[in-house]
Amino acid sequence: MFEIKIIETGYIMADGGAMFGAIPKRAWQRKYPSNEQNLCPLVMRCILAISEDRKILVDTGIGNKHPDKVSYYQPHGLINIIDEIEKSGYKATDITDVVLTHLHFDHCGYATYKNIDNETVPTFPNARYWLSREQWDNHLNPNQLEKDSLFTENIQPVYDAGLLHFVENDIQLYEGFELRLFDGHSVGQLVSYIKNDTATYTFPGDLIPTSAHVPLEWISAYDVCALTSLHEKERFLAEAETNKYILIYCHDAKIQMSKIKKLNDNFRAKSI
């Protein structure tokens, strides 16, 4: 079983209309804050799952290699993920596995870093990096909607070092740690299911980026296929509600985690 530590690596700002798609501002602003420019603060939350023999990092935040490329999103309060891992008593070389939910820049930036020779190399040299095959193929041949969010330097050095392992189907990586595939936001996004002594924790990534996105129709305009997102959310949330999973939200600046409750034919976040 796994102990779970939350790691927050800083914030970006995203337009509220983009974050909540077809939902009117008068509805979403009651659930999620924005400033006078309609920008919502999004935390970049990662998790470290620790067992007797595994140290698994899920997502890595934005990194520090390309601030000029992401300045539109106003990154701020950035924290080096290595420093946060060391606060938990571990080093980068102790990480055994890195799960990348998908390859958008705010989720995989610290998968690599620039060394003293200004070479971009894997940040976690002893880890197996896990990524869906579909997401890798999408990176190699990106669609028009995602190409500006995919940076080769975040993943190619991992592949070149022989550390990248592809997930093609739902899989149990280790006892108490599963990866399952969900489409919609992007193809082949990985959702982690992590068991400890008291509960199953899930990290749905951008399938459900904030607690406000739990209702089925609350779908981000960043999702490449809204209808697919709706059906994938319903599949995930029905199981989460039945099995009392705890969801850890990757971008919610207010609420780290919740359970799910079903209300009529829809779902809501349930405080824990």
- CB atoms < 10 A from the CB of 75, how many? 22
Return left, alpha or beta for 89; rule: phi > 0 is left, psi -120 to 50 is alpha, else beta: left
How is residue 146 written in tokens? 């995602």
Rounded to an integer, what distance in angstroms lies between the CA atom of residue 152 and that of residue 159?
Answer: 11
Rounded to an integer, what distance in angstroms lies between the CA atom of residue 33 and that of residue 2?
Answer: 33
List the one residue out of 21, 15, 46 whose CA is nearest residue 184.
Answer: 21
Rounded to an integer, what distance in angstroms lies between the CA atom of residue 209 and that of residue 192?
Answer: 14
Q: Within the chain, what is the greatest distance between any pair of CA atoms?
A: 58
Specify the CATH number of the domain 3-270.
3.60.15.10
Rounded to an integer, what distance in angstroms lies between the CA atom of residue 181 and that of residue 191?
Answer: 6
Three-state DSSP at 252 gives strand
CB 155 within 8 A of CB 139: yes
Q: Which of 63-77, 153-167, 240-254 has the lowest mean pLDDT?
A: 63-77
Confidence of residue 171 (pLDDT cuts 50, 70, 90): very high
**pLDDT at residue 197 above 90?**
no
Q: Mean pLDDT across the stretch 45-72?
A: 94
Residue environment code for 231-247, b if the CB has 16+ CB neighbours within 10 A, otherwise e:
ebbeebbeebbeeebbb
Average per-residue pLDDT for the chain: 97
Residue 1, pLDDT score: 86
How is residue 209 written in tokens? 């980026």
Q: Which amino acid, one-letter code, is at 193?
A: Y
Strand partners, 157: none
Confidence of residue 173 (pLDDT cuts 50, 70, 90): very high
Residues 62-120 have pLDDT tens digits of 999 988 889 999 999 999 999 999 999 999 999 999 999 999 999 999 999 999 999 99
What letter would DSSP give residue 163?
Answer: -
What letter would DSSP give residue 149?
Answer: G
Rounded to an integer, what distance in angstroms lies between the CA atom of residue 37 and that of residue 39?
Answer: 5
Work out the percent of the chain whose per-residue pLDDT is above 70: 100
How is residue 222 written in tokens? 């960043």
- Matching residue, tokens 């620790």: 50
Q: Where are the domains of the chain?
A: 3-270
